[in-house]
Amino acid sequence: MTNSKQNITIFYKIFKRLAGKPSMYIIENAAKDTTFQIRINGEIKAELERIYAKCGMSLTDAMNCFFQQSLNIGGLPFLAVENSDAQKRLMTYMEILTNGRRNED
């Protein structure tokens, strides 16, 4: 498994575990009665589509997943920091929580 797939799997498992009380909203079941549009660079969009396709998701699926996780935890569903020692420690902590051991790569 590639590092990016491992990270996605780790984050998914951790946030699923940390979500606690589920949101009263389930995006998958909610009526689709409005449109959300964003402007994005075409090359970036194409790269994101390739990344999410590897996970079996469309860009819309990925955005809905992001929104659902935001609702579940009441905020951003990830730690918004630079690639720093704190982030590396968090990744190690999440690996331990997920697998019960540290990844020695």
> How does pLDDT run across 31-52, given as a tens digit for each residue?
889 998 999 999 999 999 999 9
pLDDT at 101: 60
Report the chain's mean pLDDT, rounded to a whole number.
77
pTM of the model: 0.55
Q: How far apart are CA 101 and CA 44, in angstroms?
A: 35
Number of H helices, E strands in the chain: 4, 0
92 Cβ partners below 8 Å, 6+ apart? 102, 103
- Rg over alpha carbons for the chain, rounded to the nearest Å, is 15
Comparing 7 with 100, the larger pLDDT belongs to 100
pLDDT, tens only, 63-91: 999 998 888 878 888 767 666 777 777 77
Any idea what the Cα angle at residue 100 is, between residues 94 and 105, rounded to 5°? 70
Question: What pLDDT score was predicted for residue 73?
Answer: 79
Position 8 scores a pLDDT of: 61
Amino acid, single-letter form, for residue 40: I
- Spell out the long-range contacts of 42-48 with Cβ–Cβ below 8 A and sequence spacing 24 or more: none
